[in-house]
């Protein structure tokens, strides 16, 4: 399945059904009077956040969503049937934006099962029975149904993760997420092997949290260089960022500053989020050079720098401990879930 994180769609709620003009005409009943019923209500447009979706690819092949119209009224004071609502399933973390220059935020679906009635269907029109008065005994007027609402909107997906991976291309992010989760991210000895965000669930010390890997950033990403900063939105909701720096790079400190500058240029509070910094690929550098680069990077970032090799597993536990500390209470208990599964028996 291809990954798509934004789409433009057209929405239209259902119009109300027209009211009826009818008179009661039955044998042995004189002057039956008006009995035209009201029209039914049109269908609403409802967005629902569902589990199991992590892309907006379905909206590439269908851009128009129109709720059905309500049925018209009928004689014998029969009210038309209201139309069914149109429920549009979207991934958790989907934002609905207005189709304007500012792309104003209209709704944000962040929990499974969350529903929002986005466009209301039109009310049904009045039948002639509702117009009957003491002075207007035989009205022949009725009301058409109220039209539905319509608009174009943008859908933007921001993945929900507890921790996010940052770094320059080839910093070892995909190797790291493959080592600590069951994700099968593409790994290669060339830049930009990751072209779409990856999600994985980390189970560490009987706790679970979600880790997100986004494509590598380069200098000028905020201005559209390389893949740009489009995928940074997927880590806006993360509680902590794991910044991986390649130990074998000529200047790890410069690589670190490049990413920090892009976070500041992007904004959205990313530069203020807690960070765990780690030097990766330490198995490729001798101990003396590794220690020197670690000291220089600690001086640049102002806090502890971890040493890690995802290929050999060295230092991975220390990094996960630091992430788990920052994630805090949002990390679920993996042990309880495992115990529940182990306790179940068909006998």
Binding residues: 167-174, 192-196, 213-216, 280-283, 309-311
User: What are the helix and strand counts (H, E) for the chain?
Assistant: 6, 15
Where does 139-182 have alpha helices with state H?
Answer: 173-180
152's enclosing H/E stretch is: strand 150-157
Rounded Cα distance, 275 and 282, in Å? 20
Q: Are 173 and 310 in contact (CB under 8 A)?
A: no
Mention every residue, 6+ apart, whose C-beta is less than 8 A from residue 26: 32
Where does the chain have alpha helices with state H?
Answer: 58-61, 173-180, 252-266, 287-301, 316-327, 334-343
Provide DSSP, 241-303. Answer: EEEEEETTSS-HHHHHHHHHHHHHHH-TTGGGS-EEEEEE-GGGS-HHHHHHHHHHHHHHHSS
Residues paired with 264 in a beta bridge? none
With vertex at residue 54, the alpha carbon angle to CA 53 and CA 58, rounded to the nearest 5 degrees, is: 70
Q: Residues annotated as binding site for Mg(2+)?
A: 174, 194
Rounded Cα distance, 34 and 45, in Å? 34
Q: Report how far apart, in Å, the C-alpha atoms of 141 and of each of 20, 34, 42, 148 are.
A: 9, 10, 21, 22
> Given phi > 0 = left and psi -120 to 50 = alpha, else beta, which region is 192?
left
Structure tokens at 194: 């990751």
Q: Residues annotated as binding site for GTP?
A: 167-174, 192-196, 213-216, 280-283, 309-311
């Amino acid at each position: 399945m291809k990954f798509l994180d934004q789409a433009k769609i057209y929405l239209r709620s259902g119009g109300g059904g027209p009211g009826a003009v009818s008179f009661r005409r039955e044998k042995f009943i004189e002057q039956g009077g008006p009995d035209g019923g009201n029209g039914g209500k049109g269908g609403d447009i409802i967005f629902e956040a569902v589990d199991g979706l992590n892309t907006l690819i379905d909206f590439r092949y269908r851009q128009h969503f129109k709720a059905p119209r309500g049925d018209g009224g009928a004689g014998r004071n029969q009210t038309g049937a209201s139309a069914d609502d149109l429920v549009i399933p979207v991934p958790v973390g989907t934002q609905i934006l207005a189709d304007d220059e500012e792309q104003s935020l209209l709704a944000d679906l962040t929990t499974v099962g969350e529903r929002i009635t986005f466009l209301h269907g039109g009310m049904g029109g009045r039948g002639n029975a509702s117009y009957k008065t003491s002075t207007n005994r035989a009205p022949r007027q009725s009301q058409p149904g109220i039209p539905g609402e319509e608009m174009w909107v943008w859908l933007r997906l921001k993945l929900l993760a507890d921790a996010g991976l940052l770094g320059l291309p080839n910093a070892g992010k995909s190797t790291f997420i493959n080592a600590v989760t069951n994700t099968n991210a593409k790994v290669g000895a060339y830049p930009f092997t990751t072209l779409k965000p990856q999600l994985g669930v980390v189970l560490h010390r009987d706790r679970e949290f979600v880790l997100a890997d986004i494509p590598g950033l380069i200098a000028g990403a905020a201005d559209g260089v390389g893949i740009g900063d489009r995928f940074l939105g997927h880590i806006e909701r993360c509680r902590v960022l794991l910044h991986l720096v390649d130990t074998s790079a000529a200047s790890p400190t410069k690589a670190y500053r490049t990413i920090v500058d892009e976070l500041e240029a992007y904004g959205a509070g990313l530069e203020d989020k807690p960070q765990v910094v780690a030097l990766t690929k330490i198995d490729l550098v001798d101990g003396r050079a590794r220690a020197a680069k670690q000291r220089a990077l600690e001086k640049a970032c102002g806090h502890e720098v971890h040493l890690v090799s995802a290929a050999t597993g060295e230092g991975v536990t220390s990094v996960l401990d630091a992430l788990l500390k920052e994630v805090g209470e949002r990390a679920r208990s993996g042990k309880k879930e495992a115990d529940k599964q182990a306790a179940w028996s068909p006998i």
